[in-house]
Each structure stands twice: as structure tokens, then as C-alpha cells.
């Protein structure tokens, strides 16, 4: 056990954990940030996706010790002053979920994609999101939501 200071959703959080515990486990089980989901623990499903310095990252594959000194954003951190992010709003508007368990990971993967590529083509969306599984099969709506978010997003300064 060691103490780590994590920068999560803009707050400095102190946590005691073994250095090799996954960031996913720390977020869910020690910091009670349960919006980030466990789907496989093996980097295969994307349910655990968070942003590390703006990049979509599988938190199940990241040791907590290596998440220190990065800016971590989870699904809980996207809403600002009661306003959903463009990607969140687009998922809601398209009804791009069924059980919704994949949704946080999907939204963060899409956020990361739109951060890098402002107006992604369908192929770019599929490529960027292909590591995220939706067992309910809502892929077509998710693609539509990502396209809608691209339209909703301000051209510059889309920081999250």
C-alpha cells in the first residue's frame, strides 16, 4: 500500500492502494467513481475507458502508480455546471444505448476521437471505437451519435 495523489475530473484525490492495482479498480472500489465500468479487465471491451491527458485509455490496463501526474477524466467529469458535454448530449438525443453499460466507455472513446479529429468519417469512427463492445448491439446509433456530437461541438476549445 502506498499513498497516491490522482488528478481526477479536476480534483486532487488522495488514495491508498497497492502500486500495481488497476486504475479501474481504484476508481470504482476506492474512490467510488462507479461510472467507469468493468467488462473484462483485459483491455478487450472498452467499458473501463477513461481519458488520460485527453486520450481514451483502458483503465483496467493502467496501474494506479502510472496514472499519477496525468489528468484523468471519467464519465462523472464531463458534465459542466449541469450541462452535458456535446458527446453526452448527442448520445442522449440519438438514444444510443439500451442497457447503457457500455455507454460511459463509448462516450469517452468518442470524446477522445473528436478531440483529435474534428469531423471524423464513418471509417474513422469505426476504427477509433472498435475496441469498445456493445453487446446490446447499438453500434449504428452510436455512430450516429458521434456524428451528431461532431456537429454540436464548438470548432475550437473542445477541451473535454
141 vs 93: CA distance, rounded Å = 10
Half-sphere exposure of residue 159: CA atoms within 13 angstroms, side-chain side: 9
Phi, psi (rounded to 5 degrees) for 29: -100, -20
Least distance in Å: CB of 123 to other proteins? 9
State which of residues 7, 30, 35, 41 lies at the interface with ligand FES (CB under 6 A): 41
- Cβ–Cβ under 8 Å, residues 119 and 68: no
State which of residues 91, 149, 153, 160 lies at the interface with other proteins (CB under 8 A): 91
103 binds other proteins (CB under 8 A): yes
Torsion of CA 123, 129, 130, 135, to 10 degrees: -120
Q: How far from chain centre, in Å, is Cα 70?
A: 15
Report the site for other proteins in 27-56 (rule: CB under 8 A): 28-30, 32-42, 44-45, 47
Per-residue binder mask for ligand FES (CB under 6 A), 101-120, x = binder: xx------------------
Part in contact with ligand FES (CB under 6 A); list of ranges 41-49, 69-77, 83-91, 108-116? 41-49
Amino acid at each position: 500500500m502506498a499513498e497516491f495523489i490522482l488528478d481526477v475530473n479536476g480534483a486532487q484525490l488522495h488514495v491508498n492502494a497497492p502500486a500495481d492495482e488497476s486504475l479501474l479498480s481504484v476508481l470504482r472500489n476506492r474512490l467510488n467513481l462507479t461510472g467507469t465500468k468493468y467488462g473484462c479487465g483485459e483491455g478487450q471491451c472498452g467499458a473501463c475507458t477513461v481519458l488520460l491527458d485527453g486520450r481514451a485509455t483502458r483503465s483496467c490496463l493502467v496501474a494506479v502508480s502510472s496514472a499519477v501526474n496525468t489528468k484523468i477524466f471519467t464519465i462523472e467529469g464531463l458534465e459542466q455546471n449541469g450541462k452535458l458535454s456535446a458527446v453526452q448530449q448527442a448520445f442522449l438525443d440519438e438514444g444510443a444505448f439500451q442497457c447503457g453499460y457500455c455507454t460511459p466507455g463509448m462516450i469517452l472513446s468518442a470524446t477522445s476521437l473528436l478531440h483529435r479529429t474534428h469531423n471524423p468519417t464513418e471509417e474513422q469512427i469505426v476504427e477509433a471505437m472498435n475496441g469498445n463492445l456493445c453487446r446490446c448491439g447499438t453500434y449504428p446509433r452510436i455512430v450516429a451519435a458521434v456524428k451528431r456530437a461532431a456537429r454540436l461541438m464548438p470548432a475550437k476549445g473542445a477541451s473535454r
